A = this chain, B = another copy of it.
Amino acid sequence: MALIIQKYGGSSVGTLDRLRHVAKKIKQTRDQGHDVVVVVSAMYGETDRLIQLAHALTAEPDPREYDVLVSTGEQVAVSLLAMALITSQCPARSYTGHQAGILTDKNHTKARILDVETDVIQYDLSKGEVVVVAGFQGRNERGDITTLGRGGSDTTAVALAIALKADECQIYTDVDGVYTTDPHLIQDACLLQKISFEEMLELASLGAKVLQMRSVELASKYNMPIRVLSTFRDGPGTLVTHEDKTMRNRLISGIAFSREEAIIALSGVPKQIGIEGRILGDISNAHIEIDMIAQNATSKDTADFTFTVSRKDYPKTLKLIDNIAKELGASTNSSAKVAKLSMVGIGMRSHAGVASKMFKCLGDAGISIQMITTSEIKISVIIDEVFIEKGVQILHQAFDLDKVSSVSMSNIE
């Protein structure tokens, strides 16, 4: 008998039929003899409806009241799920984040969990009840309702798993788990049996929407394994856990990509201390987020400075940069038709030559690289967007990602 935390997202409980299906899955787990704590998001569309209501009323909703409002979305979902469970002879009790003892800091709309009081939940579990907790919300020191920001339900689930010393934290979603790359693009994409916290964090930061970043950080810090599973199809899913030999033996674990990029290069920038801050200052002030940054010294007196932004911010950014370039006597070169391709894997740490193999593969295919950045377990390149599918395909094959599943099967420690 184990203690299992299960989290179901908004699309998993998007209709009453889906709610009933989720109740059935929970009951099955309990019937197998496990203790179950369930974390639920608001039904699909509900949070947006509430946010629209607030914005129809006032341009700037008070953050404290905004949290009181949007937290009702999960409250509706937990009560309905508990009703569905009770109706199918599975004893259950629902709790708001406030009631469940999810204690947060006071930052409304983006609070962080500080602690979890588990008395109430543990009492119910001891009575054999399924505990259904509203995700995404908690209470601050003053007893006010707080919310954790979008995707916060994953974090609620992980925090509860840690506080309750659960055996596993299962995140149910609408995909089967974590793939080596997007299976919509590459047919040979493989479901990963396991992936390390660190790799998952890199993938999440690259836009993989499988898990919310903060939840992975938290799981990693307390070494709480997360299993990503599909609500709608049975399967083993992907276990996100501490790194092991299998993962280290794998050169890379996944290839991520994003088409919505734009690149801007400034060349002939005079070398001055603080010049980078000067260039990016205006852009940050305009609330434009900069993604990749690279700088090269091209001569004794000048440097090249290249960065990327989201494609939607491109026109605005270009206008700002043109002004700066004029002032600095630099020239600009830019394109909004580029894409980012990233390889992630803890294997890179111990295996030399991953980067050079990647560049060679792309070069052999006639794909020119416009920009490169790296971290310890990630290499990202910017290429022309027309080459993205070809690039992913070549690298997926070259790094044996189409054979990952069987490899990791035989190599589990």
Contacts and interface: CB of A to CB of B under 8 A. Distances in A.
A205 B344 CA distance: 72
Contact of A79 (B16, B68, B98, B120): B68
A65 B94 contact: yes
Contacts of A120: 143
A75 B68 contact: yes
B143 A99 contact: yes
Contacts of A143: 99, 120
A16 B52 CA distance: 12
Interface in A72-106: 72, 75-76, 78-80, 82-84, 86-87, 93-94, 96, 98-99
Contacts of A53: 16, 76, 80
Given A64-B93, A98-B98, A99-B143, A69 B58 contact: no
A386 B97 CA distance: 58
Given A57-B19, A72-B75, A65 B50 contact: no
A16 B56 contact: yes
Interface centre among A56, A96, A144 (most CB of B within 10 A): A96
Interface string A28-67: 0000000000000000000000100110111011101110
Identify whether the interface residues of A are mostly helix, strand, loop, or mixed: helix
A69 B76 contact: yes
B65 A82 contact: yes
- Size category of the binding interface on chain A: 35 or more
A83 B58 contact: yes
A103 to B, nearest CB: 15
Contact of A66 (B50, B69, B83): B83
Contacts of A80: 53-54, 57, 65, 69
A84 B56 CA distance: 11
A53 B16 CA distance: 8
Say how many copies of this protein the assembly contains: 2
A252 B71 CA distance: 50
Contacts of A20: 57
Contacts of A71: 75
Interface string A338-380: 0000000000000000000000000000000000000000000
Contacts of A60: 87
B61 A83 contact: yes
Interface in A179-208: none
A76 B49 CA distance: 12
A62 B82 contact: yes
B79 A58 contact: no
A66 B79 contact: yes
A120 B142 CA distance: 9
Contacts of A58: 83-84, 87
Nearest to A93: B64
A341 to B, nearest CB: 44
A83 B56 contact: no
Nearest to A67: B79
A16 B60 CA distance: 15
Given A75-B75, A98-B98, A99-B143, A54 B83 contact: yes
